[in-house]
């Protein structure tokens, strides 16, 4: 069996980078798509030829198409739709159309277009799989002021069900729903580190999750969950 090639959007930092590390450790090769050129360069420096990168803003359909043409160099067999943004906090009676569109363009439209690019460029693989990165916000609405983010992550749950149905039996499709994970995005939600740690005390397991713990679940869904498709796995320490 040929080695898997995993395309990871938003792959240059945080959860995406942790998934890349686990994929590489098991012998896969990796494509990283991200907006951060410096972080992409750092990943190439660490991992060398097993990692290929493309600077891609998922809000830009043309950028996705340009990156798709490069996938012919090493056609991907697996996909992780990890890229996403939280967006600016907005009260429900003060919604701004441009900010709504910005969040949905990356979290929903970008995910759809990246998935389409993957499907056109992919190489067949007996373990082919897609993991969509949703959030517990997709079911609980998310933090106050972030209804658009919650709605975008709920959309990914529906998308996962649709993709699992339409791509079976050749490709398994599942979603992850992380809880409060210790990444940079939390700085946009919590006023201070102390506030974040205080909230963590209310999580049943009593602490924040780590990017590697989410990556561990992603690794299982990508490579080992042979009879699992159309499902959403929470990685939230018991928080719902």
For the whole model, what pTM was predicted? 0.95
Q: In what order do the strands lie in the sheet with 5-9?
A: 51-55, 29-34, 5-9, 78-81, 129-133, 172-178, 232-235
What per-residue confidence (pLDDT) applies to 240? Answer: 83
Each residue's pLDDT tens digit, 141-186: 998 999 999 999 999 999 999 999 999 999 999 999 999 888 777 7
Q: Which residue has the tokens 């796995």?
A: 233
What per-residue confidence (pLDDT) applies to 185? Answer: 72
Nearest Cα neighbor of 132 from 223, 8, 228, 239 is: 8
What per-residue confidence (pLDDT) applies to 191? Answer: 59
Whether 227 sits among the annotated catalytic residues: the reply is no
Residue segments in the chain with a per-residue pLDDT below the cut of 50 = none
What per-residue confidence (pLDDT) applies to 155? Answer: 98
Q: How far apart are alpha carbons 195 and 192 in whole angstroms?
A: 5
Residue 187 C-beta-side C-alpha neighbours within 13 Å: 2
What per-residue confidence (pLDDT) applies to 69? Answer: 98
Catalytic pick among 149, 152, 159, 211: 149
**Residues whose CB falls within 8 Å of the CB of residue 25, separated by 6 or more in sequence, listed in order:** none
Q: Which domains does the chain have, with CATH numbers?
A: 5-231 (3.40.50.720)
């Amino acid at each position: 069996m040929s080695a898997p090639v995993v395309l990871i959007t938003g792959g240059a930092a945080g959860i995406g980078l942790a998934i890349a590390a686990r994929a590489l450790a098991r012998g896969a090769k990796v494509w990283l798509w991200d907006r951060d050129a410096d972080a992409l360069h750092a990943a190439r420096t660490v991992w060398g030829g097993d990692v290929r990168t493309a600077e891609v803003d998922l809000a830009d359909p043309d950028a996705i198409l340009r990156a798709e043409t490069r996938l012919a160099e090493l056609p991907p067999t697996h996909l992780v739709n990890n890229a996403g943004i939280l967006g600016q906090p907005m009260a429900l009676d003060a919604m701004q159309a441009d900010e709504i569109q910005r969040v949905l363009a990356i979290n929903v439209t970008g995910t759809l277009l990246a998935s389409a690019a993957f499907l056109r460029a992919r190489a067949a693989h007996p373990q082919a799989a897609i993991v969509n990165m949703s959030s517990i916000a997709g079911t609980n609405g998310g933090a106050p002021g972030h209804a658009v983010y919650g709605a975008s992550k709920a959309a990914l749950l529906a998308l996962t069900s649709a993709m699992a149905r339409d791509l079976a039996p050749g490709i398994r499709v599942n979603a992850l729903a992380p809880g409060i994970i210790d990444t940079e995005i939390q700085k946009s939600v919590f006023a201070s580190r102390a506030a974040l740690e205080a909230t963590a005390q209310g999580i049943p397991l009593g602490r924040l999750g780590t990017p590697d713990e989410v990556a561990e679940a992603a690794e299982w869904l990508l490579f080992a969950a042979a009879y699992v498709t159309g499902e959403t796995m929470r990685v939230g320490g018991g928080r719902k």
